[in-house]
Structure 1
Amino acid sequence: MPIALFAFTAGIALRGILVHYPHRALGMGNGVTLIRAALVAVLAGAVMAPHPAGWVVFALACVAFALDGLDGWLARRSGLTSAFGARFDMEIDALLAAVLALILLSDGHVGLEILFLGFTRYAFVIASLFLDRLRRPLPDSLRRKTICVIQIAALIALLCPLTPLWLMPPLSWGAAVLLLCSFATDIRWLLGRP
C-alpha cells in the first residue's frame, strides 16, 4: 500500500508539473513536499497494521507536519512559488489528515467523528463535481490556514501515546467542529457569489 500510494501521488504531481508548473527548476519547496508525500505513504502502511508502533507513527506524523512549514518558505526564498506548489502542498496536507484519521479509527479510541477531520476536504471535492460554484477559487485566508494547522495538530495529538483516553473525544470533536465551520464559511461564500 505505501509504495502504491506514493507512486499514485507522485504520478499526479508529475502531471501537474508538466501541465501547470511555470518554472524551469522543480525547487526545494516542491522537493520537500514530495518528501512529505513519501512520509504520508509510509504512514498509510500503519492503517493496515494490527498494532502500529505508536511512537514511530507519532514521530513520522510530527516530521511530516513540521516539514509543512518548510516547503513554502523554501519556495518563497528561491523565487519558485506557484499555484501548483500551493495546491500540491494543500493536497498532501489533506492526504496526511485522511491517513492519520484512518490510523486513529483503526485504533478504536475515537469514534466516526474522526472521519470529519480526515475526509472533509474530499467530501468538498466530490460536492464540487455537482455544484459548479464550489470549483471557483477562494481568496487567501488566514482562518483556513490556521484551522488546517489545528486539524493536523489535533490528529497528531490524538496519535500521541501519552494523550489520555478521556481527552480524545473532546479533542477530536472540537477540531472537527472548527473544520466543519471553516468549510461551511467557504461554501456559503462560494454559493453566495453571483
Structure 2
Amino acid sequence: MIQLSRECSDDQGWQANVRLAGPDLAAGLLATLATACLNTWVFDLSNGYFLGVGFLYVVMAGFVLVSLPLSFGALDLGIANRVTLGRAALVLPLAGVTIQTPVISVIGYWWIILVATVAMILDGVDGWVARRRGPTVFGARFDMELDALLLLVLSVMVWQSGKVGLWVMLIGVLRYLFVAASWLRPSLAAELPASRRRKTICVVQGVVLLVCLGPIIPATMASIIAFVALAMLVSSFAVDVRWLLRPGQRC
C-alpha cells in the first residue's frame, strides 16, 4: 500500500511538472525551430538538420522534466528559467549545424558569432534575474548544462574551421571528463563553493572561442589564444580537483 501510494504521488508529480513546464517547452520549441529556419537560410543544410535539432530539443525537454523536483512549488518555470530556455533556442540549432558540418562562409561565421554572443548575454541576464528572484537548484543545473553545451559546440566549430587542431575540443570536453571522473571518484561530485574565478574563466573560454571563429583572425593567432584559454581552464579544474581531494574528504 505504501509503495502504491508513493507511485501515485510520483505520477501526480510528473503530471504537475508536465503542466508546469509544458507551455514553456512548447514556446521554446517554436523559438528553436525559428532559429533553425534562419540557420538554413545562412548555411547549406540538408533536410536532416531539422531532425537533428528536434532530437536535441527532445533530449533537453526530457532533461527539464526529469530534473524538475516532483513538487517544484511554483506555478511556472519562472523568468530566469525561461531566459535559459530562450538561450537553448539559440544554442541547440547551432549544435545541429556542427552535426551537419557544412562549408561555412564568412557571413556564416559572423552569424555564428552573433547568435552565440546573444546567448552569452542572455546567460548574464538569467543569472541576474535568478539572483534577485531567488536561485533554485534546478535553475543552476539547467544554466550550467547549457553553458557546457555552448562551449562544446563552439570548440567543435573552431576545430571544424581548420584554424586550430583537434586539441581545442578539450575546452568543451573537459567538463564532461570531470563529470565522468566523478563517477569513479565520488568525492569529485561534492558541491564546490561559489567561485568568481571559475565563472570568469568560463566566460573567457566562450569569448576566446568566438574570437577564434572570427574570419579576420589568422590561424596562428587563433591557436595561441585558444591554447592560453585551455591552459587557464585546466588550471581552474586542477584547483577544484585539489580542493575536492583535500585530506578529510570521503572517497
> Within 5 A, what are the aligned runs for 1:65-144?
65-77=120-132, 79-144=133-198
- Deviation digits for residues 71-122 of structure 1, max 9, x if unmatched? 0112233x24212111111110000001111111122111122112111100
Structure 1: state its 5+ residue gaps.
none
Task: Quote the sequence identity (%).
Answer: 43
Count of equivalent residues: 193
The match for 1:16 among 57, 67, 73 is 67
Aligned-pair distance for 1:22? Answer: 4.9
Larger-gyration structure (1/2): 2
Q: Classify 1:97/1:21 alpha carbon distance in 2 versus 1 (closer, same or farther; 3 Å).
A: farther
Counterpart Cα distance in 2 of 1:193 and 1:92? 32
Counterpart Cα distance in 2 of 1:28 and 1:143? 26
The residue type equivalent to 1:176 in the other structure is: L
- Deviation digits for residues 29-77 of structure 1, max 9, x if unmatched? 1011111112111101221232132111111111111111000112233
TM-score, normalised with respect to structure 1: 0.93
Q: In structure 1, the residue corresponding to 2:68 is in which secondary structure?
A: helix
Structure 2: state its 5+ residue gaps.
1-51
Q: Classify 1:132/1:22 alpha carbon distance in 2 versus 1 (closer, same or farther; 3 Å).
A: farther
Decide which moves more: 3-12 or 63-72: 3-12
Q: Classify 1:20/1:143 alpha carbon distance in 2 versus 1 (closer, same or farther; 3 Å).
A: farther
CA RMSD of aligned residues (A): 1.5
Aligned to 1:179: 233
Counterpart Cα distance in 2 of 1:151 and 1:186? 17
The residue type equivalent to 1:118 in the other structure is: G
Q: Which has the higher contact order (CA 8 A, sep 6+)?
A: 1
Whether the 8 Å contact between 1:2 and 1:45 is mirrored in structure 2 is yes
